[in-house]
Amino acid sequence: MSVIRVKKLIKVYGKDDVVEQALNGVDLTIEKGEFSAIVGPSGSGKTTLLNIIGGLDKADSGSVRVDNVDIGRMSGGERTQFRLHKIGFIFQAYNLLPVLTARENTGFIMQLQGVDAEQRRKRVDKLLHSVGLGDKMDSPPGKMSGGQQQRVAVARALAAKPALVLADEPTANLDSGSSENLLMIMSRLNEEEGTTFVFSTHDMRVIRKARRVVTLEDGKVIKDES
């Protein structure tokens, strides 16, 4: 079953004489449960592709289906609701709310979804223990290391059981030990939860861990290896 199906995707930035073609006819299908990396040099289009798949940006032409829904035809409000229920995000800069604890950050999306407090507590406690933060549940981000903050971000991305988790350079701000630990946790959660992970990355540690590597160059898929 396909979680992502992208066809003939084109995205151009700029206008008149100053134009950059970020994506140039990308075709890509990602199946449920995959642990995949999108790689390529800076400017190859990988972050643009991730942002369009995640509904954070719109393509100029082509189609994007996520969990069998054509998100390219949605309004901005519809895409926001779709992301809330179907897509988890892990960002390079963690993007945790500084005034909330690890427990509150992890459960925030579920709260927006209207999940009742007891269900949230059970799910959040399970995930924070899974990422090795059972003793940090009541700590705010400022009291945690970068690696611990990114583990909270992983737990938050998985909390609402999304169809898809998109991770944009999730190890970029971490040391080698924290990166390896985070990748081990995400790989294990991918297997246990069956959640589809797609990474945008330069990090060879992520690339080695991925079970499929899609290489972009000049906005085109030039290699797709399992």
Cα separations in angstroms, 78 against 13, 72, 73, 147, 168: 24, 10, 9, 33, 23
Q: What ranges do the domains of the chain cover? A: 2-225
| Helices of type H across the chain | 46-53, 76-86, 102-113, 117-130, 146-159, 176-193, 204-209
109 CB-near residues (< 8 Å, 6+ apart):
84, 88, 156, 159, 160
What does the pLDDT look like over 198-214, one tens digit per residue?
999 999 999 999 999 99
What is the average pLDDT across 132-143?
95
pTM of the model: 0.91
What does the pLDDT look like over 18-32, one tens digit per residue?
788 999 999 999 999
Superfamily grouping for domain 2-225: P-loop containing nucleotide triphosphate hydrolases (3.40.50.300)
- Report the largest interatomic distance among the alpha carbons of the chain, rounded to a whole angstrom: 56
Question: 110-145 burial string, b = 16+ CB within 10 Å, else e?
Answer: beeeeeeeeebeebbeebbebbebeebbebbbeebe
